Amino acid sequence: MPEKILLAQQETAAAQAIYQVLRDEGYHILRAASLPETERMLHQLPDLLLLDSDLDDLRQANSWSGLAFQCQQDSISCLLYSSRVQGCEINNAAPSWVADTISRPDNAQEVLFKVAAQLTIRRLTYEAELANRQRLEKQQQLEEYQRSAAEIQKSLLPTSLPDIANLQVAWRLVPCEQVGGDLFNVVRLTEDTVLAYVLDVSGHGISSAMVTVSVYQSLSPHAGRIVRRPLDRPPYFRLLSPAEALRQLEQEYPLERFGKFFTISYLLINTRTGRVRYSSAGHPPPLLARSDGSCQALNAGGSIIGTGCSGPFEEEEIQLHRGDRLFLYSDGITEHSNHHDQQFGQERLFRRLAANRKRALEPACDNLIEALKSHGQDIIFKDDVTLIGIEYLGNDLP
Over residues 233-267, the pLDDT tens digits come to 888 788 999 999 999 999 888 877 767 889 999 99
pLDDT of residue 367 exceeding 80, the answer is yes
**β-bridge partners, 194:** 188, 269
Domain ranges of the chain: 4-129, 161-392
Most confident listed range (40-49, 150-159, 388-397)? 40-49
The pLDDT, as a whole number, for residue 148 is 67
Average pLDDT over residues 50-72: 79
**In sequence order, what are the residues at sequence separation of 6 or more whose Cβ sits closer than 8 angstroms to the Cβ of residue 181?**
153, 199, 200, 201, 202, 203, 204, 208, 209, 211, 212, 260, 262, 384
Question: Which has the higher per-residue pLDDT, 56 or 149?
Answer: 56
Residue 24: phi and psi, rounded to 5, are -65, -25
Residue 301: phi and psi, rounded to 5, are 155, -145
Q: Could you write out the three-class secondary structure of the chain? A: CCCEEEEECCCCHHHHHHHHHHHHCCCEEEEECCHHHHHHHHHHCCCEEEEECCCHHHHCCCHHHHHHHHHHHCCCEEEEECCCCCCHHHHHHCCCCCCEEECCCCCHHHHHHHHHHHHHHHHHHHHHHHHHHHHHHHHHHHHHHHHHHHHHHHHHCCCCCCCCCCEEEEEEEECCCCCCCEEEEEEECCCCEEEEEEEEECCCCHHHHHHHHHHHHHCCCCCCCCCEEECCCCCCEEECCHHHHHHHHHHHCCHHHHCCCEEEEEEEEECCCCEEEEEEEECCCCEEECCCCCEEECCCEECCECCCCCCCCCCEEEECCCCCEEEEECHHHHCCECCCCCECHHHHHHHHHHHCCCCCHHHHHHHHHHHHHHHHCCCCCCCCEEEEEEEECCCCCC
The pLDDT, as a whole number, for residue 24 is 92
CA 198 – CA 40 distance, rounded (Å): 69
Average pLDDT, the chain: 85
What are the Cα distances from residue 260, in Å, to 198, 209, 215?
Answer: 17, 11, 12
Confidence of residue 216 (pLDDT cuts 50, 70, 90): confident
pLDDT of residue 14 exceeding 90, the answer is no
CA 100 – CA 88 distance, rounded (Å): 12
Q: In this structure, what is the dihedral angle of CA atoms 247, 248, 252, 256, given to the nearest 10 degrees?
A: 0
The pLDDT, as a whole number, for residue 87 is 52
CA 192 – CA 211 distance, rounded (Å): 30
* Nearest CA-CA partner of 156 in 198, 103, 110: 198
Residues 90-118: tens digit of each pLDDT: 656 678 888 888 888 888 999 999 999 99
For residues 336 and 372, the answer to whether their CB atoms sit within 8 Å is: yes
The pLDDT, as a whole number, for residue 273 is 94
**In sequence order, what are the residues at sequence separation of 6 or more whose Cβ sits closer than 8 angstroms to the Cβ of residue 74?**
42, 45
* Nearest CA-CA partner of 67 in 97, 25, 106: 97
CATH of 161-392 among 3.40.50.1000, 3.30.470.20, 3.30.200.20, 3.60.40.10:
3.60.40.10
CA 263 – CA 343 distance, rounded (Å): 20
The pLDDT, as a whole number, for residue 271 is 95
The pLDDT, as a whole number, for residue 180 is 57
What are the Cα distances from residue 356, in Å, to 291, 328, 368?
Answer: 10, 16, 8
Question: Which has the higher per-residue pLDDT, 382 or 372?
Answer: 372
Average pLDDT over residues 180-192: 85
Q: In this structure, what is the dihedral angle of CA atoms 297, 302, 306, 309, given to the nearest 10 degrees?
A: 150
Residues 313-346: tens digit of each pLDDT: 999 999 999 999 999 999 888 888 888 888 998 8
The pLDDT, as a whole number, for residue 198 is 94
CA 187 – CA 230 distance, rounded (Å): 19
Residues 134-177: tens digit of each pLDDT: 888 887 776 676 666 666 666 677 777 778 889 999 998 887 65
Most confident listed range (47-56, 156-165, 185-194, 213-222)? 185-194
Residue 136: phi and psi, rounded to 5, are -65, -40
On whether the pTM is more than 0.75, the answer is: no
Do 4-129 and 161-392 show the same overall fold?
A: no
Percent of the chain whose predicted confidence (pLDDT) is above 90: 36
For residues 193 and 203, the answer to whether their CB atoms sit within 8 Å is: no
User: Under CATH, which number does the domain 4-129 receive?
Assistant: 3.40.50.2300
Work out the number of other CB atoms within 10 angstroms of the CB of residue 116.
14
Average pLDDT over residues 217-232: 82
